[in-house]
Amino acid sequence: MTVKEIIEKNQELEIMYRKALNTIEILEKKIEKLEQENEKLRKQRDILWRAIEIAKQIKNTEKQELHFQKVLEYIRTSEGLEK
């Protein structure tokens, strides 16, 4: 292998390395977004579980429905899910 070939190969490897670093950076950003979304969903799940526990204690069906409607409205407004 000549010096010129080694330099060319090194340049090719450097390009591949930069592309790999860019790909890693993009994937890390996607992971961060997914983790944020996961946390948001986890909070919503916890709110819904608490709402279910409270609704179990409410004997009146209409009041249960009203309770769930209020909880869902809270989730929509507090989590930026307004229609």
Within a domain: residue 52?
A: yes
Q: 10-25 pLDDT, tens per residue?
A: 999 999 999 999 999 9
Please write down the long-range contacts of 61-67, taking CB distance under 8 Å and 24 or more positions apart: none
Domain span holding position 45: 3-78
Domain count, the chain: 1
Within a domain: residue 83?
A: no
Q: Which residues of 6-25 are buried (b: 16+ CB within 10 A; e: fewer)?
A: eeeeeeeeeeeeeeeeeeee
Within a domain: residue 61?
A: yes
Within a domain: residue 56?
A: yes
Within a domain: residue 72?
A: yes
Within a domain: residue 33?
A: yes
Q: 46-65 pLDDT, tens per residue?
A: 999 999 999 989 999 999 99
Q: Is the pTM of this model over 0.85?
A: no
Show the tokens assigned to 14. Answer: 């450097």
Within a domain: residue 29?
A: yes
